[in-house]
């Protein structure tokens, strides 16, 4: 029988007040029951917030390097369990094994990075315009942070919220996505084993309507960091803003790769395919549109179809290139968009169905899908699909491509494939996106530089990762000392 897993509140693993649980199953094999998790309610979330509030002062007064030593030990614990964590991630989220291993390594690196950054947090000295005056800033933690994370990067995104929050001296309440709560539970285990004091981090599973809403509105929570859909993110913002909490949102994307007339076609096809079909297209930075110069268009489509046919689909634990969608509902949503693309008049070049065969019978698999003859106003060119579906759109020249690229509500990640220096520089200046790439896929992020979007992709308040990741979790006092 599958195990039942508890919440982590005030340093103890405890059951929910509801006495109820929910199932977590393998999306590549729905018969594989991973375990039961707490179906928590607002009372559980409030208990976690109270524990974080009670631990707030002592943790804030803990010297930064001492906090850093706990984060370093956490990184070592994660590294010791890397194979286990990789398998856990594949089993509950569906990524290919190599993708999952890379995500786990990213979590390890994030904790190592912020462990070292604890030595730099404090403030700066400035020259005063007055004699006999010292002028300085003092950096302090915000207080209690509410962290709400998605299922598509179930250990990396929790790591890049938890690590800077704790490094800066905040306590935290953390709600993982119910579709993939197990690998982040093991992350919490690693923090606990590293000696994290009781109450500093609290992990509560359950529905966003109960747990997430409580974290967003509870009087003890001072800041809320959310990653997920734009619709839910905007709702979180509205709730948290009622009592003027600090809010950080990272949300959806409709990310383009522009293929210039000067592009190397081999590079362009590989960049587009990796960005669109990697992690089964289940990334907010996934390539969803390829905007291709009309003189290269037909050959690009032909080569892209050939490249899509090379992708081997199947369970990640068995070494295949592309795994399933995370749930049946996500698969159904992708299939609805594929049908919509047909109805809108786009040409289905390849994919569009569910693969057949014994290894697919019990999972939520879909074929890599390419549409051509896509008009920029079609829904498949405007709305986030969150599956391995790429809309290929022709452009007459660079200005036309740029206008198409910017002609959506989102602005998260964007790429151009070009050998023209003028085009690359104009693209950096004129594209409406928070992440801009030249001759690279739209997915993939360095951990020590800021990450965030524009327009409906972000609250445009604070960035995540790097030094910017600490900015959200800290507040400054300015001190004048007349001696």
Residues with active-site annotation: 250
For residues 92 and 34, the answer to whether their CB atoms sit within 8 Å is yes
For residues 111 and 453, the answer to whether their CB atoms sit within 8 Å is no
Instruction: Tell me the two tokens of residue 139.
Output: 């950096």
What's the DSSP call for residue 276? H
Start-to-end CA distance of the chain, whole Å, equals 70
Backbone phi, psi, residue 146, to 5°: -95, 120
Task: Give the separation between CA 432 and CA 77, rounded to whole angstroms.
Answer: 40
Instruction: Tell me the two tokens of residue 356.
Output: 């057949």
Q: In what order do the strands lie in the sheet with 474-482?
A: 125-126, 133-141, 474-482
3-state secondary structure of 136: strand
For residues 310 and 304, the answer to whether their CB atoms sit within 8 Å is no
Inter-axis angle of helices 297-309 and 265-277, to 10 degrees?
A: 50
Task: Give the separation between CA 209 and CA 175, rounded to whole angstroms.
Answer: 11
3-state secondary structure of 180: coil
Burial class (CB in 10 A: 0-12, 13-18, 19+), 309: exposed
Instruction: Tell me the two tokens of residue 188.
Output: 């919490």
CA 89 remoteness from chain centre: 14
Distances (CA, A) of 212 to 100, 150, 287, 322: 26, 12, 29, 31
What's the DSSP call for residue 431? -
Task: Give the separation between CA 290 and CA 393, rounded to whole angstroms.
Answer: 6
3-state secondary structure of 14: strand
* Helix-then-strand count for the chain, H and E: 14, 22
Task: Give the separation between CA 470 and CA 122, rounded to whole angstroms.
Answer: 11
């Amino acid at each position: 029988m599958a195990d039942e897993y508890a919440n982590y509140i005030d340093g103890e693993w405890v059951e929910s007040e509801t006495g109820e649980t929910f199932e977590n199953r393998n999306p590549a094999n729905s018969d594989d029951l991973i375990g039961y998790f707490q179906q928590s309610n607002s009372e559980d979330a409030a208990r976690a917030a109270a524990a974080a509030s009670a631990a707030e002062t002592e943790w804030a007064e803990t010297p930064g390097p001492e906090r850093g030593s706990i984060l370093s030990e956490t990184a070592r614990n994660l590294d010791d369990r890397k194979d286990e964590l990789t398998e856990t991630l594949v089993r509950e989220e569906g990524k290919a094994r190599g993708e999952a291993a890379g995500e786990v390594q990213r979590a390890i690196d994030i904790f190592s990075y912020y462990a070292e950054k604890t030595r730099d947090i404090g403030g700066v000295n400035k020259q005063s315009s007055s004699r006999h005056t010292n002028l300085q800033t003092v950096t302090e933690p915000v207080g209690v942070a509410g962290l709400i994370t998605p299922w598509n990067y179930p250990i990396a995104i929790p790591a890049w919220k938890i690590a800077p929050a704790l490094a800066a001296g905040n306590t935290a309440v953390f709600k993982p996505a119910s579709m993939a709560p197990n690998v982040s539970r093991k992350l919490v285990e690693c923090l606990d084993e590293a000696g994290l004091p009781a109450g500093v981090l609290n992990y509560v599973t359950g529905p966003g309507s109960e747990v997430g809403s409580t974290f967003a509105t509870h009087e003890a929570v001072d800041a809320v960091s959310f990653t997920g859909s734009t619709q839910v993110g905007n709702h979180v913002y509205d709730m948290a803003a009622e009592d003027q909490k600090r809010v950080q949102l990272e949300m959806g994307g409709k990310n383009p790769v522009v293929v210039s007339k000067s592009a190397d076609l081999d590079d362009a096809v590989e960049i587009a395919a990796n960005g669109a079909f990697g992690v089964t297209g289940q990334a907010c930075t996934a390539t969803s549109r390829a905007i291709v110069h009309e003189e290269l268009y037909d050959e690009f489509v032909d080569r892209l179809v050939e490249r899509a046919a090379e992708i081997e689909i199947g369970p990640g634990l068995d070494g295949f290139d592309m795994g399933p969608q995370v749930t049946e509902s996500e698969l159904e949503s992708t299939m609805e968009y594929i049908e919509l693309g047909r109805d809108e008049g786009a040409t289905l070049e390849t994919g569009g169905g569910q693969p057949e065969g014994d290894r697919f019978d019990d999972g939520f698999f879909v074929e890599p899908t390419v549409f051509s003859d896509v008009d920029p106003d079609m829904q498949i060119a405007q709305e986030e699909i969150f599956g391995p579906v790429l809309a290929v759109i022709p452009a007459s020249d660079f200005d036309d491509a740029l206008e198409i690229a910017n002609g959506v509500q989102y602005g998260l990640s964007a790429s151009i494939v070009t050998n023209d220096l003028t085009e690359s520089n104009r693209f950096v200046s004129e594209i409406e996106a928070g992440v801009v790439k030249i001759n690279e896929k739209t997915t993939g992020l360095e951990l020590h530089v800021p990450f965030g979007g524009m327009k409906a992709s972000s609250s445009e308040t604070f960035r995540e990762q790097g030094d910017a990741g600490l900015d959200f979790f800290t507040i400054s006092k300015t001190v004048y000392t007349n001696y």
